[in-house]
Structure 1
Amino acid sequence: MSLFIIVALPFFGALLPGLMNPAGRSATAGVTFTVTLSAFIGLLTNLPAIIAGEVVTARIDWMPLLGLNFTLMLDGLGFFFAMLILGIGLLIIAYARQYLSREDNMGEFLTYLLLFQGAMVGIVLSDNILLLLIFWELTSLSSFLLIGYWKHLPEGRQGARMALTVTGMGGLAMIGGMLILGNIVGSYDLSVILQNRELIQADPLYLPALILILLGCFTKSAQFPFHFWLPHAMAAPTPVSAYLHSATMVKAGIFLMARMWPVLSGTPEWFVIVTTAGLITMVLGAVIAVFKHDLKALLAFSTVSHLGLITMLLGTGTAFGAMAAVFHILNHATFKAALFMSAGIVDHEAHTRDIRRLGGLRKLMPVTFAIVTLAALSMAGIPFLNGFLSKEMMLEEATHTVLFDLPLLVPVLATIGSLFSAAYCFRLISHTFLGPVRDDYPSKPHDPNAAMWLPPALLIIPVIVIGVAPFLVEPFVRLVTYSVLGGAAEMPYAHLKIWHGFGPALYMSMIAVVGGLLVLALFRPALTLWDATPRPEAKTIFEALIAAVVDLARMLTLPLHNGAFSRYAAIATIWIVGAGYFAWRTGTASLADYPNQTTDPVLISGWAMLVAATLGMVFLHRNRFLSLILMGIVGLMVSVGFVFLSAPDLAMTQFTVEAVTIILMLLALNFLPERTPVESTVLRRMRDTVVAIAGGLAAFGMAYYFMLRDPVAPTISDFHLANSYKGGGGTNVVNVILVDFRGFDTFGEIIVLSIAALLIYALTEALLGGPIRARLLNRKPQRPQAGGVHPMMMVVLTRGMMPVALMVGFYIFLAGHNEPGGGFIAGLIVSIAVVMQYMASGFAWASDRLRYPYHGVIGAGVLVAGLTGIGSWFVSKPFLTSDFTYVRIPPFNEFELATAALFDVGVFLSVVGAVMLSLESFSRLARRKDSPESDYAMDIDPSRHDPEPQSAQEGV
């Protein structure tokens, strides 16, 4: 299966859970399971090529000029992580079906899960570091939605914000590091970067790039000092914790360190930074985990510790360390996912995760007890389970690692970390399942149905099989390790086997197990000492830092961004004047000799009206309604100016935009006083006058220069005029620029327009749902309001105008590529026609008959435009590259078919949806308590009581 399909399946599949939600929880989970299974099977189809040592690649140019291409690469390392993401994802989906309650929205949850899954698969298969960064940030956003899924829990919202903040800041740092790497190598393709080890490490920017990239890895993988966000993310539902914190999100940083190992490792800087961070995280996480009473918190800090273990192994820079890291990634994913799901089972059945309220569950939950015992013993490093093998490899590597010229530092810290790791594993088993059965459980515990315990039970199979027969996975581990090394080091000769003989690693492992049992025996005095020891709270420090950053930002921005528009205008004007003065003093300019233009009375009249309306706005701006009328006149005269200058597209756009904005602003004025109060002193107004005059003179000078300058080089207009028809297939240069040459800009503009409309909707809904609702409903407007019955003539005209306007809009849309028009103008024309229905017949009547989900219209528009751009990838062309052809169907003349028309459909839908959603939002806000709620058309007077026809009275 194509790599593109494997990456795309979760994203497109994310549309299905919401659609299947009405069909039931099982159907929703089933379709999600099918999507993930399809991607997993597609991944397995590439296994023969991976085993043969091949690297499967796929490439589609996206934005080649920026170096951003949709390039994918599947080697042993990518296959390994994708297998974990999709394989464990299947078990999580099955588990979530049983775990989530009926009150939880299954479709919403699984949609977020598939989005996160797709982003993770994208990370591990990316062969372009810019593309990898996009997927990297998508994991942060989608994990934010998953962690904060239970919106009613303050802990969930706080944990989601903390995770997004920490990983987001790390992502920003990593962007800088990746850009530096791309600049050093001259390419953003990962496969090219991985072949330039010497070039990168010899560059003076190697260290800044290394630090920035490691910041991204450490924040994502919860390495000290960024480890604190992961335990707070445990407020998420258990399926999220089991997925994100065993095999996916927290392993993203580990993956990237492994992926960049060939080019970044092997230097003293890499060794010191990565090994030190890993060691500290390993020991710190293990010590804290011992004293946690919440099952998920204990497992969270154990995850932090094991992530530190893997990071330390990668930091050593040896081939054996890399192999041990790969092996432990596999083992940790199996036993940790099983433990998280088992903790969820205990919480689900006993209604508590507090270890102090548990104990004695061995007899009540025997199946769960068996799963937890085997997984926890594996995590503790007990022989004949997979965790023992990789942990012993870690201890072996530690004995050969010298940090800060201290030969015993790494072995001692590794042993201490392993000791406390064994201690929390033994406590997990003992304090949760052993001991007498209690009679004060919050709920009577019992094993759940098989559908719930089967997913973690399946993960115990590799825990045991690998533990007793590691040779079964050794070829695969070596294959993945070979991809990690990337030719930078030779493959280690060591083999995976149960018995390596007596040696330092075995003795250290024995010390860890015995020490763990001793800590468990002395737990109560140790807990008393722990509680009495003062220690900083990471959450408190984080919140203090965030508060300090917010205060600093407020101190810097409030003098400039304080809500006073006059200050914004003054600052911008001063900068413009200053820049113009600097250019005038330091630069050179030559003016061309142009013949004087003949005086045109029409032009002078239009110019005079424009100036008069502008001056009227300046002197009469306190009258808000009059200012709005004058502003409309200014817009109208600008439209006329476009017509005079032979720019019909701009004229039509300007005119329709003016019409729509005037209507929306009239609705907004309904909530404001008739006059703007005087809030500034005379001196301040004099100051503003001076600044405004200076800005006006500067703008005049700039316009005068540009009109008279002597063009010495071809302008971009020449390119567009020359290539509009042969390159874009259209004779309307303006429209071709919008949908072809600068289609990406237009795509961004409709997204901004859509966001603005959605923000208007959100703000008005918040007002209607808040304490200000009563004031809005009972307010007394200062202006006279329209009555319940609208003029008959206006109603009749607008009804007849509607189909005509739709036909005009349809024509303008179709004609746009070769004649004035296009999707944007057509959308505004149709919007005006619909707005007129609201104005003529009232909100209640129009909204009752125009029941369109304008949110969906906006979404459909953006989706259509985006899919049109993506379609060009399938023919190996950059995003939003258009194509066209000419066809002839007798008896019609030859006509053009262009993909840009589909993009224009998206623009049309977005414009209509944005305008109508804004109108509806303002109209709903403008309704008062005494507004008429008539089911009649507003051209019929509800007070009339015409006699019924005789036939109706007789029932004929």
Structure 2
Amino acid sequence: MSLFLIVALPFLGALLPGLMNSAGRSACAGVTFTVTLAAFVGLLTNLPAVLAGEVVTVGVEWLPMLGMNVNLMLDGLGFFFAALILGIGMLIIIYGRFYLSRKDNMGEFFTYLLLFQGAMVGIVLSDNILLLLVFWELTSLSSFLLIGYWKHLPEGRQGARMALTVTGMGGLAMIGGMLILGQIVGSYDLSVILQNRDMIQASPLYMPALILILLGCFTKSAQFPFHFWLPHAMAAPTPVSAYLHSATMVKAGIFLMARMWPVLSGTPEWFVIVTTAGLVTMVLGAVIALFKHDLKALLAFSTVSHLGLITMLLGTGTAFGAMAAVFHILNHATFKAALFMSAGIVDHEAHTRDIRRLGGLRHLMPITFVIATVAALSMAGIPLLNGFLSKEMMLEEATHTVLFDTWWLVPALALVGSLFSAAYCFRLIGHTFLGAKRDDYPAHPHDPPFGMWAPPALLVVLVVVIGVAPFLVQDFVFLVARAVIGGVAPLEVHYIKIWHGLVPALYLSVAAVVGGLIVLALFKPLLRMWDAAPRPEAKTIFEATIAGAVSLARRVIHGLHNGAFTRYAAIMAVTVVALGYHAWRTGTIGPATRTMQPAGAIEIAGWAMLVAATLGLVFLHRNRLLSLILIAIVGLMVSVGFVVFSAPDLAMTQLTVEVVTIILLLLALNFLPNRTPIESTVLRRMRDVAVAVAGGVTAAFMSWHFLLRDAVSSPISEFHLANSYKGGGGTNVVNVILVDFRGFDTFGEIIVLGIAALLIYALTETLLDGPVRARLLNRKPDQPRAGDMHPMMMVVLTRVIMPVVLMVGFFIFLRGHNEPGGGFIAGLVVSIAVVMQYMASGFSWAAARQRYPYHGIIGAGVLVAGLTGIGSWFVGKPFLTSDYTYVRIPPFHEFELATAALFDLGVFLAVVGAVMLSLESFSRLARRAHMPETDHAMDIDPSRDPDDPTNPKLEGGV
């Protein structure tokens, strides 16, 4: 199966759980499991190539000018992590089906899970670091949704925000590091970067790149001092904790360190930073975990500790350390996912995770007891279980690692971490399951259904099998380790086996287990000491830091963004003056190369009207209606200017935009007083005059001089004129620029337009409730100056010409690629036709007949435009590359078919949807304000008697 399909399947499958919600919980889980299974099977089809040592690669250009291409790569490391993500994902899906209650929206949960799954698979298979960054941020966003899935829990929302903030900040740092790395090498392709170790490490930018990338890795994988977010993410449902915090999200940073190991490791900086962070995290996490009373909190800090262990192994920079890290990643994923699911079972059946309220559960939950005990003993490092093997390899590596010129430091800290790790594992078993049965459990505990205990049981089987017969996975671990090392260091054959003889690592393992038992025996006095000892709370420090940042931001924003438009305009004007003055003083200004042309009567008249309208606007701006008319005159004069300079496309766009915006503003002004109150002093007005004059004079002065001089380089317009027809298949250069040359800009603009319409909808929606609603209900509209608000002539005329205007809009849309027009103008023309119905017949009449899902129309427009761009990928072209051809269908003449027309259709739909959603938003306000009965349009159908009681009427009249 193609790597593209493996990555795409979870994202495409994310559409299905929501649709299956009504079919039941099992259908939701079943379709999610099927999608994950399909991706897993697709991954396995590439296993023979991976085992043969091949690197499977596929790629499609996306933004080649930026070096951002959709390149995917599958080697041993990528296969290993993708198999963990998808394999454990299937078990989590089965477990989640039985764990979630009937009150939980299972479709929503599995949608978020598949989005996260797809992002994680994208990370481990990316062969372009910019693409990897996209998936990296997607994991942060999707994990935010998963952690905060139980929206009714304040701790869930807080944990989700904390995780997003910490990992998001680390992600921003990592973006900088990756960009530096790409600049050093000259390519953003990971396969190219991994071949340039010497160039990267010799660069003076190596250290900044290393620090920034490690910040991203450390925040994602909860390394000290960023470890605090992970325990607070435990407010998520247990399936989320078992998935994100055993095999997936927290391993993303580990994966990236392993992926970058060939080019970043082997330097003193890497060794000191990574090894130290790993050691501190391992010891700190283990110590804190011992004293946690919440089962999931204990497991969360144990995860922090084991992530530190893996980080330390990668930090040593040796081939053996990398191999031990790979092996422990596998082992940790198995026993930790099983333990999280076991903790969820206890919570689900006993209705508490507080260890102090548990004990003796082995009598009531024997199956869960066996599963949890085997997994915990593996985590403690007990022989014949897989955790013992990789932990002993870690201790072996520690005995050969010298940090800060101190030979005993790393072994000592590794021993302390292992000792406390064994202690909290023994506490988990003893204080939760052993002892006498209690009679004060919050609920009656019992083993769960088969579907709930089978997934962790399967993982425990792997724990035992690998622990007893490690040779089964030995070759695969070697394969993955070789992918990590990348040929930088020789990987000697270190057999993974149970008995290595009487080596120092064995003595350290025995000391850790015995020490763990001693610590557990002394737990009560140690707990009293722990509770009495002063210690900083990472959460408190984080919240204080965030509060300080918010306070600083608030002071800055209140100083600049105080809601007064005059201040914003003043800042922009001062900026124009300052930058213009700086450019004039420091730049090289050559002599004028163009001569001025005499102005004709039309130009002078238009200029005079423009100046008159602008000055009138300055002095008469308190009259809102008059100001709007003057603004319309300014826009009209600009349109005339475009006509004079032979730019009909721009003139049509400007004119239609003016019509739509003026009408919408008129509707908005309907809810405001006729005049703007005086809110500024004479002194402020004089200051504003000075700033405005300075800004205007500077802009005019600079524009004047630019117009008198030729461009230094060849203008881009020459390229557009030369390639519009040859490259884009259209003779309307403006339209070809919008849908082809600068199609990506247009795509972003219709998204912004849609967001603006949604914001208008959201703002007006808030006005329909609360105090504003009362004011709307009590509103007394101004008395109309005309006796009839909806004259017969206006009503008849708008209804007759509406189909004509729609046909004109359709015609403008079709001709736009070769003549003035296009999707944007056509969308505005169609919108004007509908707006006229609201003006002529009233809000209620029009709203009752035009109940369209405008949100969906906006979405459809963006989707059509986006899919048009994505379609070019399937023929190996960059995103939004257009194509065209000519066809002849008798008896018609030959005509052109262009993919740009589909993109223009998306623009058309987005524009219509945005304008109509804005109009509908104002319409709802008007209807809520109880417009008078004269707002209802008359019935112009003479065949129907409006007084006939049997005559059906729509809301607001017929």
The reply to whether TM is greater than 0.5 is yes
Quick one: distance in 1 between partners of 2:455 and 2:817? 56
Is the Cα contact below 8 Å between 2:349 and 2:444 reproduced in 1?
A: yes
Quick one: distance in 1 between partners of 2:666 and 2:910? 22
CA distance 1:196–1:605, change in 2 (3 Å):
same
Structure 1 position 352 matched with structure 2 position 352:
yes
Quick one: distance in 2 between partners of 1:590 and 1:177? 45
2:768 corresponds to: 768
1:953 corresponds to: none
Mapping 1:911-930, distance limit 5 Å: 911-928=911-928, 930=930
Q: Which amino acid aligns with 1:684?
A: R
2:140 corresponds to: 140
Quick one: distance in 1 between partners of 2:821 and 2:850? 25
Quick one: distance in 2 between partners of 1:752 and 1:337? 42
Quick one: distance in 1 between partners of 2:785 and 2:285? 67
CA distance 1:726–1:552, change in 2 (3 Å):
same
1:571 corresponds to: 571
Q: Which amino acid aligns with 1:236?
A: A
Quick one: distance in 2 between partners of 1:937 and 1:738? 40
2:947 corresponds to: 945
User: Deviations for 1:54-102, whole angstroms, at most 9, x for unmatched residues?
Assistant: 0000111111111111111110000000111111111111222222222
Q: Secondary structure at the match of 1:558?
A: helix
1:330 corresponds to: 330
User: Deviations for 1:678-706, whole angstroms, at most 9, x for unmatched residues?
Assistant: 22221221121112112221222223223
User: Deviations for 1:657-695, whole angstroms, at most 9, x for unmatched residues?
Assistant: 112212222232234332222222212211211121122
Quick one: distance in 2 between partners of 1:545 and 1:784? 57
Q: Secondary structure at the match of 2:561?
A: coil
User: Deviations for 1:204-261, whole angstroms, at most 9, x for unmatched residues?
Assistant: 1111111111000000000000000011111111111111111111000000000000
Quick one: distance in 2 between partners of 1:125 and 1:466? 26
Quick one: distance in 1 between partners of 2:139 and 2:232? 17
Q: Secondary structure at the match of 1:62?
A: strand
CA apart distance, 1:598:
5.0
2:259 corresponds to: 259
Is the Cα contact below 8 Å between 1:789 and 1:939 reproduced in 2?
A: no
Q: Which amino acid aligns with 2:141?
A: L
Structure 1 range deviating more: 885-894 or 96-105: 96-105
Compute the RMSD of aligned alpha carbons. Answer: 2.1
Mapping 1:237-248, distance limit 5 Å: 237-248=237-248
Structure 1 position 315 matched with structure 2 position 346:
no
Q: Secondary structure at the match of 1:224?
A: coil
Q: Secondary structure at the match of 2:560?
A: coil
Quick one: distance in 1 between partners of 2:543 and 2:142? 23
Mapping 1:690-729, distance limit 5 Å: 690-711=690-711, 713-729=713-729
1:952 corresponds to: none
CA apart distance, 1:566:
1.4
Q: Which amino acid aligns with 2:947?
A: H
CA distance 1:927–1:727, change in 2 (3 Å):
same
Quick one: distance in 2 between partners of 1:438 and 1:252? 41
Mapping 1:659-698, distance limit 5 Å: 659-698=659-698
Mapping 1:445-524, distance limit 5 Å: 445-524=445-524
Q: Secondary structure at the match of 1:69?
A: strand
Structure 1 range deviating more: 775-784 or 450-459: 775-784
Is the Cα contact below 8 Å between 2:796 and 2:940 reproduced in 1?
A: no
Q: Secondary structure at the match of 1:559?
A: helix
CA apart distance, 1:423:
1.3
Structure 1 range deviating more: 807-816 or 743-752: 807-816
Quick one: distance in 2 between partners of 1:844 and 1:454? 59
2:191 corresponds to: 191
Q: Secondary structure at the match of 1:73?
A: strand
Q: Secondary structure at the match of 1:939?
A: coil
Q: Secondary structure at the match of 1:672?
A: coil
User: Deviations for 1:476-521, whole angstroms, at most 9, x for unmatched residues?
Assistant: 0000000000011111321111111222111111111122222222
Structure 1 range deviating more: 478-487 or 65-74: 65-74
Quick one: distance in 2 between partners of 1:131 and 1:710? 40
Structure 1 range deviating more: 847-856 or 421-430: 847-856
TM-score between both structures, scaled by the size of structure 2: 0.96
Structure 1 range deviating more: 692-701 or 799-808: 799-808
Structure 1 range deviating more: 168-177 or 251-260: 168-177
What are the ranges of 5 or more consecutive residues in structure 2 without an aligned counterpart? 952-958
Quick one: distance in 2 between partners of 1:783 and 1:408? 90
CA distance 1:598–1:569, change in 2 (3 Å):
closer
CA distance 1:904–1:6, change in 2 (3 Å):
same
Quick one: distance in 1 between partners of 2:29 and 2:641? 60
Q: Which amino acid aligns with 1:751?
A: I
Structure 1 range deviating more: 408-417 or 347-356: 347-356
Structure 1 range deviating more: 766-775 or 602-611: 766-775
CA distance 1:711–1:397, change in 2 (3 Å):
closer
Quick one: distance in 2 between partners of 1:703 and 1:108? 55
CA apart distance, 1:404:
0.9
1:590 corresponds to: 591
Quick one: distance in 2 between partners of 1:174 and 1:711? 39
Quick one: distance in 2 between partners of 1:813 and 1:662? 23
Q: Secondary structure at the match of 2:292?
A: coil
Structure 1 position 97 matched with structure 2 position 97:
yes
1:210 corresponds to: 210
Quick one: distance in 2 between partners of 1:395 and 1:488? 23
CA distance 1:94–1:617, change in 2 (3 Å):
same
Quick one: distance in 1 between partners of 2:384 and 2:669? 76
User: Deviations for 1:319-367, whole angstroms, at most 9, x for unmatched residues?
Assistant: 1110000000001111111111121122222222122222222122222
Is the Cα contact below 8 Å between 1:37 and 1:90 reproduced in 2?
A: yes
Is the Cα contact below 8 Å between 2:283 and 2:417 reproduced in 1?
A: yes
Is the Cα contact below 8 Å between 2:577 and 2:694 reproduced in 1?
A: yes
Structure 1 range deviating more: 522-531 or 122-131: 522-531
Structure 1 position 539 matched with structure 2 position 539:
yes
Mapping 1:217-232, distance limit 5 Å: 217-232=217-232
Quick one: distance in 2 between partners of 1:429 and 1:616? 83
TM-score between both structures, scaled by the size of structure 1: 0.96
CA distance 1:915–1:595, change in 2 (3 Å):
closer
Mapping 1:799-818, distance limit 5 Å: 799-818=799-818
Aligned length in residues: 948
Is the Cα contact below 8 Å between 2:379 and 2:387 reproduced in 1?
A: yes
CA apart distance, 1:779:
3.6
Q: Secondary structure at the match of 2:70?
A: strand
Quick one: distance in 1 between partners of 2:893 and 2:258? 61
Is the Cα contact below 8 Å between 1:788 and 1:932 reproduced in 2?
A: no
CA distance 1:436–1:502, change in 2 (3 Å):
same
Quick one: distance in 1 between partners of 2:846 and 2:615? 38
Is the Cα contact below 8 Å between 2:842 and 2:936 reproduced in 1?
A: no
Q: Secondary structure at the match of 2:61?
A: strand
CA distance 1:535–1:786, change in 2 (3 Å):
farther
Is the Cα contact below 8 Å between 2:296 and 2:353 reproduced in 1?
A: yes
Structure 1 range deviating more: 549-558 or 235-244: 549-558
1:733 corresponds to: 733
Q: Secondary structure at the match of 2:818?
A: coil
Is the Cα contact below 8 Å between 1:674 and 1:782 reproduced in 2?
A: no
Structure 1 position 108 matched with structure 2 position 94:
no
Q: Secondary structure at the match of 1:71?
A: strand
Q: Secondary structure at the match of 2:20?
A: helix
Q: Secondary structure at the match of 1:660?
A: helix
Q: Which amino acid aligns with 1:245?
A: H
Structure 1 position 655 matched with structure 2 position 655:
yes
CA distance 1:271–1:604, change in 2 (3 Å):
same
CA apart distance, 1:635:
1.2
1:162 corresponds to: 162
CA distance 1:559–1:356, change in 2 (3 Å):
same
Is the Cα contact below 8 Å between 1:845 and 1:934 reproduced in 2?
A: no
What are the ranges of 5 or more consecutive residues in structure 1 without an aligned counterpart? 950-956
Quick one: distance in 2 between partners of 1:13 and 1:424? 39
Structure 1 range deviating more: 922-931 or 535-544: 922-931
User: Deviations for 1:240-295, whole angstroms, at most 9, x for unmatched residues?
Assistant: 11111111110000000000000111111101100000011011111111111111
Mapping 1:285-434, distance limit 5 Å: 285-434=285-434
User: Deviations for 1:715-758, whole angstroms, at most 9, x for unmatched residues?
Assistant: 11111111000000000000000000000110111111111122
Is the Cα contact below 8 Å between 1:223 and 1:277 reproduced in 2?
A: yes
Structure 1 range deviating more: 256-265 or 174-183: 174-183
Is the Cα contact below 8 Å between 1:423 and 1:520 reproduced in 2?
A: yes
